[in-house]
Structure 1
């Protein structure tokens, strides 16, 4: 018989007798063969029990109903009809289901179900179905959810949560405590679930449990859920209680280094200190387990070697600071580790002096009208000296925003203390980019990286034209158009700039020759007369670009001379 029970793979469900609402609807029951799931009886007290199996048993099936954790059945539910096939994607009869006749119980409460297979036969077998408890009640709901500590503080981070669970009697509709019912108490915050406690209501429908927070959670709250084993949390009756936090006085103290951070480039200087809090009786105590963050001011974590860690049992912290540049560092309890639990001085600033770092002095970076960048200067060491005759590798890098995405576009070698000058081209797409020089030498000398922005602007000649385009030899024609400069995503007129007109005859071996010039007006327009003497191409060029503009070349326009 045990073999038969295993092969049948039974599952139970309690459903409404007709159209009553339940946590496990008939449609949901049809979609599973691995129950059970609990439901709610309908008004009037009737309910049915649905049984699912891998295959239909040979004899009669009944279900015995007994009070939760009780030994004696108070009812035996039968009336099962023909087993019904439940198809899936692979089979038209993947499993079978059956449903009992409607039944009414005398008392409201939690009940367990036992399945009896092949009743009255020699191979009759009764099986207690684990997890098949259901509430014989209507509209279960929480009458209350309270905390002995509605206002938390670091000194009092927990308390006792208690509440009551009520329901209506299915027949009398009297509201009574729901005894022996499963309740899940969830201790939560914005960080998610902090702890859970599975409880069972007593004879008066009451439940209670202790809870405790660490002392830095945001928006702490308690939540009570009825019948969480049903798997339908969203539908299950629930009650939430928000808890307030009263800030506790606290203090962050840096004990080392006392006068700021001083260290050789690439070294790690320990920053040590302690966190304390003040109790209601005025005593100052260690504050353990709270995160302390150490970072360069004004820098992102991935760029500036931020380090972070919790204070120990004595409230002490010891964080390494990687020395990479002059500036300042901040030691603090970050907001995510506070969330209103503490008040007071929880942040302090330390100056940073990085010794033995490189210096480009004097430094000159310029870009001419042809997009040629010139970098020049000398490479020296601050607060130290390079070995005599030592040479260094220097990288020229470009970045769109001057902060991220630096790309090396040229590398050269120069002796320390000797003037250098290097040139490189950049593209129109790199206009407005930032340029920096970076020393790429040994780890014990800092790679200084001064940053300069390219300020020249891209220009263009638009609506340029030579007209008319069919003329007699010696006829004057008009060269016209507009000169514009790019500003962000817009193109603005450029006034007071000289544009030149060039011509190249169609005859083989002809070269471009200068024919005349014009000056742009306030709206960027220009116009001048030139003489057409033979067939050929004409072009307008902005070659006399002054700061802050780059040169621009117009289109070729052909004119036929007859």
Structure 2
């Protein structure tokens, strides 16, 4: 890109802006540009672009020292074959470019098209006048259909432009937003190298986010008024060519003269608000105008903070309603958040009650079957009328310490539910709870009762199978110890219980019951069998009473030889 120098000088309340830089045209991504100089009448527009095709935009860019070319980009499914160059605002074509080189971000022919552009580098532009030009692009889509785009870009044909601009004031208020901007623009003529007034160039004057364009006259002079919007957080002046992509705008600081404001909050009584909705805070905002009168502060920003955050703008009469979304009781504050006004402190309101909160009540384990499946019941109550359903989650205590959802469902609020839930297969679970996550406008809650199975856990310890290996026809044994969990939290021997023994041959999925045995006083149990074939052995305790859970021991493979 071309370098720019800029200087800024302020005298009294007038701001003088000066910039020097190379001037060329609208944006693009790299490489050079094009032109054959033959004045002619503007061509008729080709058919409109079809869906899926976009004719490129066009501009004049600097390729090297003293050389300007046409540059095209942002086209889709359209190959340009000609660009007509016209003096801005006229129909007379002063140059035609019809030879283009294509450049690609990703030159791999087998890769995706990540972006491309065209440059008329074989036809550098040599134009008579140093001024603004408009470019018309003609292209064909992939099916050969003619496409066109009139005014596909506007560019300034010049080098090393110098802009000097003067603003009539440097300080602004809500009652004084505009300024008069005057100045001159000169540049080096691309053909002669002479510094001359730049005529017909669009100069954009900005104050904050407000801007206007002025076109320079034959002496390169321009004049316009520009106004800030009055919504900026900070201000600056700038003057730049509207159609030059390498020019760095010249800037100078500007000051916001903030006016005093007065804030009222009419919402004074403690508020009752539905969960997840806005708490409406209403009031009015006035300002002290430059002439000393008090006026409504229209279009100004108000901010609420505290237990909820929100922003809103004041109306024409200075009235406002800002409604922060709240989930809990507490305090809310309202204040002016506007660089054009001096704040008048904060005003505070209180949310005393939140409706449509929920509560889990009556949750309990109704029953537990021998395999640990729980039947759980309970009710979710809501503080307020609603037609919504209550989302309910049955959660268990994960071995990592957090609560995990095992089952979800919905029921009407206030209605007792009964649901069956199976324990996870990858861990022993003894703690459950009922939780409702709520909705956008109904609060969440969790039952305070930790639910536990009504049956005690059982387990096999010290399981062993042998001998290993064992010869076919010889005796093998399967043995272990059955224990049950005690109220104290430990495990104790569980004597007098029937244990079943199962075998699954290799390459089979079916377990065959092979016999039973009763646990001794120590909980030990075992049984001998005649070895027939290799496979897996395990023990199961499934003949439980109403106070214990079934359990299955670890399976072991035993190889049978011979």
Q: What TM-score, normalized to structure 1?
A: 0.51
Distance 2:420 2:528 in 1: 41
- Report the secondary structure of 2:245's partner residue: coil
Q: What is the CA distance between 1:255 and its match in structure 2? A: 0.9
Are residues 517 and 109 of structure 1, via their aligned partners in 2, closer, same or farther at CA, if it must alter by over 3 Å? Answer: farther
Unaligned runs of 5+ in 1: 39-64, 89-96, 114-128, 189-193, 300-305, 387-391, 415-419, 441-445, 481-494, 519-527, 545-549
Shift of the 31–262 alpha-carbon distance from structure 1 to 2, 3 Å rule, reads closer
Question: What is the match of residue 210 of structure 1?
Answer: 226
Which of residues 317, 320, 325 in structure 2 aligns to 1:317?
320
Q: Is the 8 A contact 1:534 1:560 kept in 2?
A: no
Is it true that 1:148 corresponds to 2:147 in the alignment?
no
For residue 451 of structure 1, report the CA deviation from its aligned partner. Answer: 2.8
- The match for 1:486 is none
Shift, 1:436, TM fit: 3.8
- Whether the aligned pair in 2 keeps the contact of 1:398 and 1:436 (CA below 8 Å) is yes
Q: Is the 8 A contact 2:68 2:125 kept in 1?
A: no
Aligned length: 429
Say which SS state the counterpart of residue 24 (structure 1) adopts.
strand
Corresponding position: 1:505 with 2:516: no
Give 3-state SS (helix, strand or coil) of 1:289's partner: coil
Q: Hey, what does 1:408 align to over in structure 2?
A: 409
Where do residues 77-476 of structure 1 align in structure 2 (5 Å cutoff)?
109-110=130-131, 137-143=158-164, 148-149=169-170, 154=174, 156-170=176-190, 173=193, 175-186=195-206, 194-202=209-217, 203-215=219-231, 217-218=232-233, 220-226=235-241, 228=243, 234-235=245-246, 238-240=249-251, 243=254, 245=256, 249-256=260-267, 258-262=268-272, 271-278=281-288, 285-292=295-302, 297=307, 310-318=313-321, 327-328=329-330, 330=332, 332=334, 338=338, 343-346=343-346, 348-353=348-353, 360=359, 364=363, 370=372, 372=374, 374-376=376-378, 395=390, 397-398=392-393, 408-410=409-411, 414=415, 422-425=418-421, 428=424, 435-436=434-435, 450-452=445-447, 466=464, 468=466, 470=468, 473=475
Cα pair distance change 1:135/1:375, threshold 3 Å: closer
Note the 1:470-485 alignment, pairs <5 A.
470=468, 473=475
**Structure-2 change in CA distance of 1:505 and 1:366 (3 Å):** closer
* SS of the residue 2:315 aligns to: coil
What is the rounded CA distance, in whole Å, between the counterparts of 1:101 and 1:310 in structure 2? Answer: 53
Q: Residues of 1 paired with 2:213 and 2:525: CA distance?
A: 95
Structure 1 residue 425, shift from structure 2 partner? 1.9
Runs of at least 5 residues in structure 2 that lack an aligned partner in the other structure: 1-40, 47-57, 103-119, 135-149, 396-401, 483-488, 504-511, 531-535
Aligned-residue offset at 1:289? 1.5
CA distance in 2, matches of 1:330, 1:551: 57
Q: More helix per residue: 1 or 2? A: 1
Q: 1:373 to 1:504 in 2, by over 3 A?
A: closer
Q: For 2:290 and 2:73, how far apart are their aligned partners in 1? A: 58
- Kept in 1, the 8 Å contact 2:360–2:446? The answer is no
Distance 1:504 1:7, change over 3 A: same
CA distance, structure 2, for counterparts of residue 161 and residue 396 of structure 1: 64
Asked whether the equivalents of residues 330 and 351 of structure 2 are also in contact (C-alpha less than 8 Å), the reply is yes
Residues 286 and 296 of structure 2 are in contact (CA less than 8 Å); yes or no, is this contact kept in structure 1?
A: yes
Q: Relative to 1, partners in 2 of residues 1:436 and 1:201: Cα closer, same or farther, differing over 3 Å?
A: same
Deviations 1:278-314 (A, max 9, x none): 5578765422113556799359xxxxxx8x7532222
3-state DSSP class of the match of 1:197? strand
Aligned partners of 1:245 and 1:341 also within 8 Å: no
Say if 1:538 and 1:167 are closer, same or farther in 2 by CA, change over 3 A: same
Q: Distance in 1 between matches of 2:249 and 2:521?
A: 84
Distance 1:296 1:331 in 2: 6
Is 1:557 paired with 2:556? yes
Q: Which has the higher contact order (CA 8 A, sep 6+)?
A: 2
Compared CA separation, residues 160 and 200, structure 1 to 2 (3 A) = same
| Aligned partners of 2:262 and 2:286 also within 8 Å | yes
Distance 1:558 1:255 in 2: 80
Q: What SS does structure 2 have at the residue aligned with 1:504? A: strand
Residue 213 of structure 1: SS of its match in structure 2? coil
Cα RMSD after superposing both structures? 6.8
Q: Distance in 1 between matches of 2:466 and 2:480?
A: 7
Q: Distance in 1 between matches of 2:394 and 2:168?
A: 56
Q: Does the CA contact (< 8 Å) of 1:250 and 1:344 recur in 2?
A: yes
SS at match of 1:345: coil
Q: Using the alignment, how far apart are the partners of 1:253 and 1:236 within structure 2? A: 48
* Contact 2:275 2:328 (8 Å CA) reproduced: no
**How far off its partner does 1:268 sit?**
9.8
Shift in CA distance, 452/87, structure 1 to aligned 2, threshold 3 Å:
same
